Amino acid sequence: MSDCMKCQVPESEYRFKALEILTFHIRDLNGERRVQALGETVDFSICKSCAQKKLDVIRRPDRRSCRSSMAFGGVILLGIILFAVFFTDGAIRLMGLACMAGGAMGLMDTIRRMRAKSAKYKQLSPEEALNRAAWECAIEAAPKKSGENDLTYMPVNEKTLNFKNGDLMVLYDLLPEIAAQAWDKIREV
């Protein structure tokens, strides 16, 4: 597979190997449990143009990257409307204030995260930043579900080869036995 996952341009510049991690969430009376399994090793390809577009959005967030901010703006607007319309009813007015406060906190957190990510990418060399942006682009384009299972991906590269089981557990949210299996499978690949 050498076509770009995003725009289907042939002969993509960035190629990645990744290990699929299938997660099934079981909800019962005792709460929620996860069951995980390793999937196949897959290949991702991203062209330089798509990677550059993603890097530009990360470095300079614009309207397209602020879609999540719009939801918080809607919550703030709902709070203002509830506060204004039901000014005499204390409970609903209080709910309006809570909506405004919650929306404002969510909006500030989203902006803070975007700025932190932008600063992190600005510290990288241009080629490393483009490579990471290509990986993020590939993950966005990759399937997220396989039947009932959630799909996540772990890169198979020199960096992950140096990780230990505990590192894999923390970084990729793996169960202990799956982290050990992933560690073994990465070495095989």
pLDDT at 142 over 60: yes
Q: How far is Cα 83 from Cα 96, in angstroms, rounded to an integer? A: 5
Instruction: State the average pLDDT over residues 130-153.
Output: 90
**Sign of the dihedral through C-alpha 7, 8, 9, 13:** positive
Given the structure tokens 């929620």, which residue do they identify?
32
DSSP letter for 157, please.
S
Q: How far is Cα 108 from Cα 84, in angstroms, rounded to an integer? A: 23
* Percentage of the residues of the chain whose pLDDT score is greater than 90: 30
Residue 86 CB-density burial (10 A; 0-12 exposed, 13-18 middle, 19+ buried): middle
- Nearest CA-CA partner of 60 in 118, 122, 108: 118
pLDDT of residue 63: 58
Return the higher-pLDDT residue of 89 and 163.
163
Element (H, E) at 20: strand 14-28
pLDDT of residue 46: 92
pLDDT at 1 over 60: no
Token pair for 102? 């919650």
pLDDT at 59 over 60: yes
Q: What is this structure's pTM?
A: 0.77
Tell me, rounded to whole angstroms, the distance of Cα 68 from its chain centroid: 13
